Amino acid sequence: MLENPVKIAVLVSGGGTNLQALIDAQNSGIIKSGKIELVIANNANAFALERAANAGIKTAVVLKKELGSAEAFEQKIKDLLSENGIEIIVLAGFMAILSENFTKDYPKRIINVHPALIPSFCGKGFYGLHVHEAALAYGVKVTGATVHFVNEIPDGGEIIMQKAVNIRENDTPETLQKRVMRQAEWKILPLSVEKVCAKLISE
């Protein structure tokens, strides 16, 4: 770990398997130019919060229904980010679309992992199992995962890293989802975070 690592916030909604991959990568030295300082969930029951607490990482819950509007929700997240000096934001299974009003404040500072090879099966409505259902329905033989910067267009930011995963004949959306996570997402997300943090330090 560097003396002044880049401060990372991870935004989560669910189980937090990608968060766990990031924590493991930090512990094993794959991520050395950055440090996860904060985990923000938009779901109070997200298991990801437990993973963060177990790793000694500060957590926060921000609920849109309590705040009354998307604007207030995004502002609360911004406040938490600035209070904690966050420099990079990683969306790890975060099920809320961030508006242009939010993304424009963090150019090339928000990273997302998408469970397909962009530009295939991406954009509005393509998230979670829907992506794998679409890949199987279309009959593609190869899928994978993409880590990209986030801008105002869903899945539209510059690509940082991609990894291909072969589809098997008897795959279901669930088996495919697990393989894409294991073989692609959990590998390229930590590598991409390190790459972006290292570049920030060198600038």
Q: Averaged over 55-63, what is the pLDDT?
A: 98
Active site residue 114: yes
Question: Which residues face 113 on adjacent strands?
Answer: 147
pLDDT, tens digit, for every residue of 74-89? Answer: 999 999 999 999 999 9
The pTM of the full predicted model, rounded to 2 decimals, is: 0.94
Please choose, from the candidates 77, 154, 74, 166, the residue with its C-alpha nearest in 3D space to the C-alpha of residue 114. Answer: 154
pLDDT at position 185: 97
What are the residue ranges spanned by the domains of the chain? Answer: 6-202
Instruction: Look at 95-99, 116-120, 142-146, 175-179 and tell me which has the smallest mean pLDDT.
Output: 95-99
- The residue from 114, 130, 132, 148 that is catalytic is 114
Q: Averaged over 130-141, what is the pLDDT?
A: 97
Pick among 3.90.1300.10, 3.30.420.340, 3.30.1330.10, 3.40.50.170: CATH of 6-202: 3.40.50.170
Running DSSP on this structure, what letter comes out for residue 3? S
Which tokens in the block code for residue 104?
């424009």
pLDDT at position 1: 60
What is the biggest distance separating any 2 CA atoms in the chain, rounded to whole angstroms? 49
Question: Which residues face 60 on adjacent strands?
Answer: 40
How is 44-103 classified by DSSP, letter by letter?
A: TT-HHHHHHHHTT-EEEE--HHHH-SHHHHHHHHHHHHHHTT--EEEESS--SPPPHHHH
The Cα 160–Cα 148 span in angstroms is: 5
pLDDT, tens digit, for every residue of 63-76? Answer: 999 999 999 999 99
The identity of residue 157, as a single letter, is: G
Q: Averaged over 120-141, what is the pLDDT?
A: 94
